[in-house]
Structure formats: structure tokens, C-alpha cells
Structure 1
Amino acid sequence: MRDYDEITAFLGKWGPAQKLIFLLLTVSVIPNGFSPFSIIFVGDTPEHRCSIPGNLNLSQAWMNRTIPLVPGTQVQYSQCSRYRLDVIRSLSEVFPDPDLLNVSGIEEEPCLDGWDYSQDQYTSTIISEWDLVCDDTWKEPFATSLYFFGMMIGSGGSGIISDRFGRKIVLFGTMAVQILFNLLLTLSPSWEIFCLINFCRGIGEMSNYVTAFVLGSEILQKSIRVAFSTFGIGCLYAVGYMMLSFVAYFVRGWRMLILTLSLISLLYIPLWWFIPESPRWLLSKGRVKEAESIIRLMAKKNGITPPAALFTDDELEHMQNKQAKSVPVIQLIKSRNILVITVISMLIWMIVAIGYFGLSLNVPKLHGNDYLNCFLFGAIEIPGYIASWLILQKCPRRLSHVGILALSGGVLLIMNLIPSNHPISTVLVLIGKLGSTCAFSMIFAYVSELYPTPLRNTGFGVSSMASRAGSIIAPYIVLLGIYQENLPFIVMGVLMVFSAIVVLFLPETFKIPLPDTIDQMQNIKWCPGSQSDSTQTRINRVEMSKEEML
């Protein structure tokens, strides 16, 4: 009995129809590249100091003495306190020249009249508009975490909705959600409303990316799927990431920046008429005529004459019956092997997400130009996706992940030995970002190979939810930098080195058939032991296959 790939093999692997679908789906994820990282510029903190009312009638010399210096420095002024203005005013009446006395002993007070913000880099950010500084510093990472929480909700819900209503409608529906809430975000009258809309925006963000991933994987042939899911989608995501720095360089106000990015997303609406629904999904729903229509249209674009009858009755029945039955989530903890794999997978996904998003959101704290650094962080992802694609083709999964995670964590720990204003520090962070990107891309393929068919979607979904939890934590890892500049790098470095060690306890899956049943998982050697895991696992699966044939 032929499966779907065999039935549609006459289309070829890489004809004009497949190339067009590959291109359009990868292009559709470009907005996903700049949406999660726009907060780098929208939520950046400009240089600021306490505002001093103009009705004090102080001379310029005394105005310059109203803000205390940060202890231990001679040029850095406090951003959260000032000298008591009533005392300053009294002293100014007695001593016209402030150099005649030492003002450092005067009692300090908080910024009771707000703050003055530098506009050298930005005309406005959410920080300067709503004074999210000093005691309210926590509000910016909280708003970012809410966005990632929305992504977590979206990644879980989009799969259920797309299984019920179709891939295409969810793909474009979530595009509309992104555009709508981006536009609403520009109208936010307060920080609280901004947080609410930002959460809703995150729901559409991840749903669009995941649906494009699934749709391409179902339409394209096996030999193209790995390239699509790593090199294709990843590189265009990185293009969106790089575009952000260009747009932000010319648009310095946060509302206008988000509006501009929203207008760019509007350009993708016409793709509705060129991207087809998944024939696999249509067949699973019994919509045979629609599936045949799409397949015949692809054949026409490829210049191929399709068979008179694409499917026999037996083949249609077989494809319907082959659909994997839903398996309760509790199956992930009933088996010891599956439980261990699930726990380790969730841990790795969460740590990799912390490293990836933590490094990305920390761009404003790095030495050098923010816009150039953001561009470089996007550009470094392209070789990361290419490397992951090549590694997945040629190398064992376990040792590859160990090496990449250890390298990323190691260079971040070395950061503590180098002055933050030295250019080599930015180079090391870029290497860490390269490694985290590569690991993030590869973990998709690795996890899908670990689980048996009935649990694959469930296991993948649980692991993905763990990565979203990591992205929620990431802004607070970045916030640790207010206590010690290199502390975020130390925390992320330690976590990534730890995850490299944890990966050693996963089974090898390179060149090993995917497990089809939960029973096959009982024979997997999840901890590196005496005999080669891959060899033993292959022997077990071959023996089981022979028994099934008999």
C-alpha cells in the first residue's frame, strides 16, 4: 500500500511548484524575525537623570550640582536621586559659587519631579514615556515576558486550531492577529494597556511561525523538509531580524517604529492566493476533491501530466486509518524511558531558549552601536542555520549538541575575564549567539526523532512549551545586569554548559529508524553505557520488525 509521499512522487522533488511554496512560506516568516526583538529598541532605556523644576531660579553652576555622582565614579551621575532641592536653594542664596563648599554631604531625595531623558538616540521609548526606571525598572522585562507568555499560549493553541480548521486559515489568521495588535499597540495610552496588547500580539507571533513550519513540512517532499525547516525558515527569520535594525535606525520613536513594522507585514496578505492548503490535512478530513485539485495544480505548474486517478479507494481508506490516534499526555510519564527523555528534553529546550533570547535582548548593554550589534546578531543566525542543516545531514545528534552547547556556554563564561568595553567581548557574545541559534534549530529535529509516532506531536508540544517558559525567564536574566554587568553572561554560560552535560543522557538517533510504537521505546538506552546505544537500538528495532512480519 502506497503512502502519501509515494502517491505524489510523480510531482518530482524540486519543481517550480515546490520552489514557489518553499519561497512563499519562508518569506511569510520574515515578520516573525523582527516582532519579538522590536522591544530591544521600543523598550531601551535612554540616559536619564532627575528633572529639576525651572522655578527654583538656580544658576547654571548650581543646576549642575543638583545631581549626586555615583559613588566611586567622577563622571557618572545618579539616575534615581538628587540632592534635596530646598537645601540646594538655601545654599545657593548664601553661596553664589558652589565651588566654595562641598555639596556631597547634602541629604538626597528621589526624583519627585520625574526624569529628563536624553534624545541623542531615541525620540521616545516606552521607558521615557511612562518613566519605567529606578523603582519601576521591573516593568519593562515584565512587559517582554508577557509577550513571550502569549507566544506560549499561541504555540499550544495554534496546533489544535490548525488540526481542526486547516493550516492555511490559521497561517493567515495569525498574520492578521499580528498586524491588528501591532496597530493597537501604537495607540496604548498606558503601560498596563501596552502589556495587555503585547500579550495578545505574542499569541499570533508564534502561531504563524509554527503553522508555516507544519504546512511546508506536509506539502514538500522528504528530501526538502530538513532544508525547509532549518535553512529555509531559519534564514528568512534571520532576514527579518536584520531588517529590524535598519528600520529602527531611521525610525527613532517607538510608536512609529511599531507602526512601520506593521505596515511591512501588510505586504504578505496577497500570499493567500498563492499558498495552498495542505493536501495531507485535506485528505485526513475526507476532502478528497480539494486535495486532488491542489495536487493536479502543482503537477500543471511542474509541467507534468498526472495520473487519471490519483488515489484508489483502498489507498484513501489506508491514509485515513493511518492517522495517528490521540494519546493522553499522561503517557509521557508512564514509561521510565519516555519520562526521562521528556524531562531532559524540556530542560534543554528551556535553557537553549534562555540563552537565545537572553543574548538577543541584551544587545543594548553591549559595547558598540546598538543598531550594528542588532544587525550582527541577526546576520550570525544565517551561518547558524546553515551549520545546523549540514550537521543534521552528517553528524550524530548527541555529540553535536554537546559540542555546540559547551562552546556557547564556554565563551559566555570567558566574558567575565574581559572588560565589557573591549571589542572582543562583542565577538564572544556573537559566538555564543551562533551556538545557541544552531542548538535551537537542531533540537527541533532531535526531539522529533526521540518520540514514537503516537507521542511525537505531544512530546514536541510539551518541549516547545518548555522553551516558551525559558523565553519568559530570559528578560529577567538580562535584568541581572543592573547588579553586575557580566552576571547575565555568567548565568547563561553556566546553564548552557549544564545542558551540554545533560544531553549526554539522551539516546542517539542518527541513522536510526523512527520508533513507531511506545513499546519500542522500552528498548532505548537513554544513558550512555557499555555498548553503543545506536547499535543496540538498531538491533532491537530490527528484531521487533521481524517479529511483526512473522
Structure 2
Amino acid sequence: MGNYDDDTAFLGQKGPFFITLFFLLNAIYISTGFHGLYIVFVGASPLHHCQVMDGNLSKEWLTASIPKEMEDGKTQPSRCWRYNLDTVKNLSARGYSPQDVNLTDIMQEKCVDGWTYSTDIYHSTIVSEWNLVCDSEWKVPFASSTLYMGYLLGSFVSGQLSDRFGRKKVLFTSLAAEALVILAQSFSPSWLLFCILYFFVGAFQISLYITAFVLGTEVLSKSFRVLFTTLGAFLHYCIGYMVLPWIAFAVRDWRYLLRILSVLTVVYIPLWWLIPESPRWLLAQGRVMESEAIVRQAAKKNKVTAPDVIFKESEVKETTLQIGKYSILDILRTSNIRKTTFMCLLLWMAINIGYFGLSLNTSNLSGDPFLNCFLSAVTEVPAYIVATFLLRNCPRRPLLSAFLSIGGGFLLLIQLIPESLHALSLALEMVCKFGFTMSFAVVYIYTVELYPTVLRNLGIGICSSAARIGSITAPYVIFLGTFNRYLPYILMGSLTIVSSISNMFLPETFGKLLPETLEQMQTCKSFLKRDDHILEEGKTTVNMKEEKNKSSQQEINT
């Protein structure tokens, strides 16, 4: 077959077909925005204290039976302990008031009768329904992690499925399956089943995200393709992210919230008849007539005339590089590749821990959690716009280090802000989110430009796995805030600063041709200087593979 872009050049770069498809595919990303972070509200922990099951106690004794504890510099009722109820009832029956006794002398006990939860903000969450507090508090970050564990599985499986069954089928199957699993999750009778279903929500959601991304890059024209992969998907994800807190604000019960989010997916049903299959994929499957039919329909919508034969048989020039197949071992084969990979893994992990950590932490911030979540989402919109503009004009290395320094540096400053200035703390956290979001946009392009063509897919795949590990870890980093409010900020800030410094030792890629082979790959800078033995290792590896492939080709020719 001839080149697809050349064969379909008559469609032009714009037109109703491309414009409509651009917005339809981006509309799907809105669902990923409000499906991806609903755990912020579903798993929120309302204010709570031990339940005192005794109607004979006076209101004064009921209040006094809960010990006071210092938390973040404030005196608050204990969430996990109460004074021994038998002792309290005995003192009350003998006519003593709480002021007559030294309460600290009374033995404390755990909340054996359960907890009482505030309904001022949330009517019901999985925390209040299944008592995921105190000794069971670890179950909340674990539930959050199951989504990202599902991401890990979906990332591996979705590509293979879409290559076999088609982009469109996998896209809409993932969309429908995600909605059904969320609906089933709203009926979960236990925390364990909730986590299992949440795992599959993650698997289907990342499959949806990746497949829509691939479909868009294969069907859209070159000009729309660039816009779709830079701003389109990210901004529409932000729209869904911004819609989520308003839905959660109107529906304070976690079960009804999930049901509404699931039912909203029905608006995408008509898209099955509006979004076509990828003509490129159909051509790869040998289904030329079906591919031509889609392109002719696109020509009709764009009001251009299609040639009599769109995909004609032509001479295929053998221009494939004689490099052979590379394996994951080649990522670690040379010293230069190992150093580059290690620093990329650190970057991806730090950025994902910071980004998802701050996203999940919005319900723990001072002030209204719904407004905090909305502001966190709004912050991402200018971040993606600014990052896209800067990527077109600025070097990658100082750009990424600057964004990471903004995110990590302000995280370390938050602990210095007095508790009374919670508005300033919130503003600093939004600045941090801004920095991490811009880093998120830059690191994808920077990594693609660092690795040579022969190892690019493997490199991105390994970095993506590190990103998933980072997102799985993020809920546990936030969980440390139950012991010390500022500990998550210190850990995330320190890790980000370290990654920002290590990034400066990577080579600059702005304005340079993409490397094709290991030999063309740039070496790390500063103390990781370009060593002759590193270059020789790369040359030897390439030469060995080239000789092997030449021998194989000679045998085939013979």
C-alpha cells in the first residue's frame, strides 16, 4: 500500500469531518475526568468520634466521655478513643459531674460500640458506612490504589486488544464496561468487593483513554492530530474533573453519586454511529473496501472529490532499518542508557506521586472540599495551555526542572504557613498543582525525544510502569498525613526537588533530530560525561545486530 497520509491528502487538513471527529473524541475524555477521581468524595473521611451507647448519661457526660487530643496544633475530640464507659456511668450514677473528677485518671478504651459521624458535609461515604477509621484507616488509601493497579493491567492489555479487534470496538466496549462496573460498585455490600470492582474501573478507564488517543491520531488530519494530542485530550479531561465536584456537591451520598456518574455515560451511545473505525487499522487488516468507504464518507462531508481508486497498489520500497528486534534488556545494556533510564524513571515516579497526591488530598484541605477540588481542576487548564506554548519555544531540560522546582519548592514552603492562613496554604497548593501539571505535559515529549527509535516504545513503556507505581504509592503518601499533616508535603517536595536536580544531568533535545539508533543517542551531561567506552558499547551493540541481520538477509536471498 502507498503512504496513508499521501493517499488521503485530498481530504485536506480541515473540514467538517475532522472538526466533528475532533470534538466527539474529546467529549469522551470528559467522562475520564469525573470517573478518575470520584474516590476523593466517595472515600472522604467525615469528622467522627466514638459512639457512646447509653441513654442514661447526661449530655454533659456524653461530651466529656470523649478525650481531647492535640491535632495539628488544635484541641479536638479523639477519633479513636473514649473513657471507659463503665467508669463514666459509675461516676454519673454517684452524682459526680465531669468538673468534679480528673478525667485524665480514667482509663481509656477503643470505640467498641462504633463511631458517630458528622453529616455536615457528606451524608454517606465508604468510610462512614464501613467504619474505615482508626485501625481500618489503611483501607482507604488501599481502595484508591486499586484504581491505579487497574491502570497497570489496562495499559498492557488495551493495546493488544485494539490491534486485534479494532479501535472502535475496544473504545466503546471499555466505555460501556466502565459504566456498568461503576453501577455495580454503587451496590457493593463490602469494602473488599468495592476494591475489586474499582480495580476493573481503572483497567477499563485507561483502556478507554489509550484507545481514544490512538484512534484520534490515526483518523484525524495532521493539523488536528497535533492539537488533539497536546491540548484536546488534556483540557477535556479537566472539564470532567471540574464537573465532578459540582455533581458531588449536589449528591452527598456515595452510592447515588456513583449511580449518577454511571448513568451519565448513556449520552455517549449515539457516538457509536458517529465515530468511524480507523481506516489505517482496516488497511493493516487487509480490509481495503471498508477503509475506502470511510474515507469516501469523509470526502463527502468535507465536500471534496475522492479519486476513483484511493488506496492503490504501488511499489513498496524496502527502507526498513537493518537493526533487528530489541528487547527490554537493551534498555540496560550500555552505561548511558542505564543512566538515562534511571533518571527518567525517577522523573515519572516523582511527577505522578506529586500530581495524584495533590489531586487526592483536596478533601483533606482546609475549607470547602468541593470548592478545593474545583480549584484544583481549574488550575490544570492554564497549566496545559502554558506548557504547550513553552514546549514549542523553549528547551526541555531547564523547562522541566523549573516546573518541578515550582511544585516541589512550594510544597516544602506550605509547612511554614500558620494554620490561621489556610487561604494562603490553599493558594500555595494550587501553585504546586500547576507546576506538577506542567511537568506532566513536558515529561511525555521529553522522554520521547531522549530515546532512539529502536528503543522508544520500550523506554516509554518502562517509564509508564514507573508512573503507575507512583500513582499507586500516592494514596499512601497522603495517608501519612494522618500522623503528621505536613509529612506528605515534605516527602513529595523532597522527592520532586531531587528529581529536578537529576533532570539537569540529562541531555537537551530541543531543536535536535530524533535519534534513530543507540549510536545517535545523546549522552548524559555534567559528571555523567560522554565517555568513549559508552559510545563504543553502543557502536558494538548496533554493529553486532546489523551483522546478524545482514547474515540472515543473505541466507534468505540464497
TM-score above 0.5: yes
State the distance in 2 between where 1:372 and 1:207 align. 30
Name 1:21's counterpart in structure 2.
21
The match for 2:311 is 311
Residue aligned with 1:76, SS: strand
- Whole-Å separation in 2 of the counterparts to 1:162 and 1:319: 27
Alignment of 1:274-353 (within 5 A): 274-314=274-314, 317=316, 327-353=326-352
Match of 1:377 in 2: 376
Deviations 1:312-346 (A, max 9, x none): 3126x469979998642222222333333222222
Whether contact under 8 Å (1:246, 1:371) holds in the other structure is yes
In the alignment, what sits opposite 1:152? Answer: 152
* CA separation of 1:205 and 1:59: change in aligned 2, threshold 3 A: same
- How far 1:198 moved relative to its partner? 0.9
Report the alpha carbon displacement of residue 95 of structure 1 after superposing the two structures with TM.
2.3
Looking at structure 2, the residues matched to 425 and 362 of structure 1 have their Cα atoms a distance apart, in angstroms, of: 13
Correspondence for 2:170: 170
Question: Which amino acid is 2:436 matched to?
Answer: S
Q: Which residue of 2 aligns with 1:449?
A: 449
Contact 2:117-2:128 within 8 A present in 1 as well: yes
- State the Cα distance separating 1:511 from its structure 2 match: 2.2
Partner of 1:460: 460
Change (3 A) 1:126 1:77: same
For the residues of structure 2 that align with 1:488 and 1:467, how far apart are their CA atoms?
A: 18
Which TM-score applies when normalising by structure 2?
0.90
Tell me which amino acid in the other structure corresponds to 1:359.
L
- The corresponding residue for 1:4 is 4
1:397 corresponds in structure 2 to 396
Unaligned runs of 5+ in 1: 538-543, 545-550
Q: Which amino acid is 2:331 matched to?
A: L
- Superposition map of 1:411-450 within 5 A: 411-422=410-421, 423-450=423-450
Aligned partner of 2:551 in structure 1 is none
- Residue 394 of structure 1 and its aligned partner are, at CA, apart by 1.3
Number of aligned positions between the proteins: 531
For residues 340 and 104 of structure 1, do their structure 2 counterparts lie closer, same or farther at Cα, with a shift above 3 Å needed?
same
Q: Deviations over 1:53-107 (max 9, x none)?
A: 135x112222121111115878511110100011111111112433222222100
Q: Quick one: distance in 1 between partners of 2:226 and 2:436?
A: 19
Seen in structure 2, the aligned counterparts of structure 1 residues 160 and 526 have a Cα distance that, compared at 3 Å, is farther
2:403–2:435 contact (8 Å) kept in structure 1: yes
Offset, 1:451:
2.4
The ranges of structure 1 where at least 4 consecutive aligned residues each deviate by more than 4 angstroms after the TM superposition are 71-75, 317-326, 528-532
Tell me, in whole angstroms, the C-alpha distance in 2 between the residues paired with 1:318 and 1:155: 34
How far did residue 286 of structure 1 move?
2.1
Aligned to 2:549: none
Say if 1:4 and 1:319, in contact at 8 Å, map to a contact too: no
1:364 matched to 2:359? The reply is: no
Q: Match of 2:50?
A: 50
| Structure-2 separation of matches of 1:244 and 1:496 | 28
Q: Percent identity?
A: 45
Helix, strand or coil at the partner of 1:300: helix
Deviation at 1:529, TM superposition (A): 8.1
Cα 1:392–1:5 shift into 2, 3 Å: farther
State whether residues 27 and 236 of structure 2, in contact with CA within 8 Å, keep that contact through their aligned partners in structure 1. Answer: yes
Aligned to 1:513: 513
Question: Any idea what SS the aligned residue of 1:419 has?
Answer: coil
> Which residue identity lines up with residue 221 of structure 1 in the other structure?
S
Partner-residue secondary structure (3-state), 1:29: helix
- Structure 1 position 356, deviation (Å): 0.3
- 1:178 and 1:322 map into 2 onto residues whose CA distance is 41
How far 1:28 moved relative to its partner?
0.4
| Residue correspondence of structure 1 range 485-504 to structure 2 within 5 A | 485-504=485-504
Aligned counterparts of 2:387 and 2:98: Cα–Cα separation in 1: 63
503-512 vs 25-34, which moves further: 503-512
Query: Does structure 1 residue 209 correspond to structure 2 residue 209?
Result: yes
**How far is 1:461 from its partner?**
1.8
The aligned counterpart of 1:548 is none
Aligned residue number for residue 119 of structure 1: 119
| TM-score (structure 1 length as normaliser) | 0.91
Matched letter for residue 386 of structure 2 = A
Q: Residue 239 of structure 2 aligns with which residue?
A: 239
Give the C-alpha shift of residue 12 in structure 1: 1.6
* Cα deviation 1:259-306 (Å, max 9, x = unaligned): 111111221122111112222222222222222222222121111112
Distance 2:304 2:318 in 1: 24
Q: Is the partner of 2:116 in helix, strand or coil?
A: strand
Q: Do the aligned partners of residues 378 and 326 (structure 1) sit closer, same or farther apart at CA in structure 2, a change above 3 Å counting?
A: farther
Which is worse superposed, 257-266 or 240-249? 257-266
Alpha carbon RMSD of aligned pairs, Å?
2.5
Partner of 2:539: none
Aligned counterparts of 1:531 and 1:84: Cα–Cα separation in 2: 67
How many Å separate the matches in 2 of 1:370 and 1:91? Answer: 41
Shift of 1:349: 1.0
Instruction: Give the whole-Å Cα distance in 2 for the aligned partners of 1:48 and 1:175.
Output: 37
> Could you say which residue in structure 2 is the equivalent of 1:547?
none
In 2 relative to 1, CA 324–387 (structure 1 residues): closer, same or farther, beyond 3 Å?
farther
- Whether the 8 Å CA contact 1:167–1:277 is kept in 2: the answer is yes
AA partner of residue 527 (structure 1):
K
What secondary structure sits across from 1:54 in the alignment?
A: coil
Match of 1:354 in 2: 353
Matched AA of 2:209: Y
Deviations 1:30-58 (A, max 9, x none): 11111221011100011111011135x11
Aligned equivalents of 1:474, 1:18: Cα separation in 2:
38
CA contact (8 A) 2:66 2:78 kept: yes
Question: CA 1:74–1:371 in structure 2 vs 1: closer, same or farther (change >3 Å)?
Answer: closer
Contact 2:2 2:314 in 1 (8 A): no
Structure 2 unaligned residues grouped into runs of 5+? 536-541, 543-558
Residue type of the alignment partner of 2:140? E
CA distance in structure 2 between the partners assigned to 1:269 and 1:449 by the alignment: 38
Which moves more between the two structures, 487-496 or 469-478? Answer: 487-496
Match of 2:524 in 1: 526
**Does 1:473 find its partner at 2:477?**
no
Kept after mapping to 1: 8 A contact 2:2/2:313: no
Q: 1:421 to 1:138 in 2, by over 3 A?
A: farther
Q: CA deviation at 1:2?
A: 6.3
Secondary structure of the corresponding residue to residue 82 of structure 1: strand
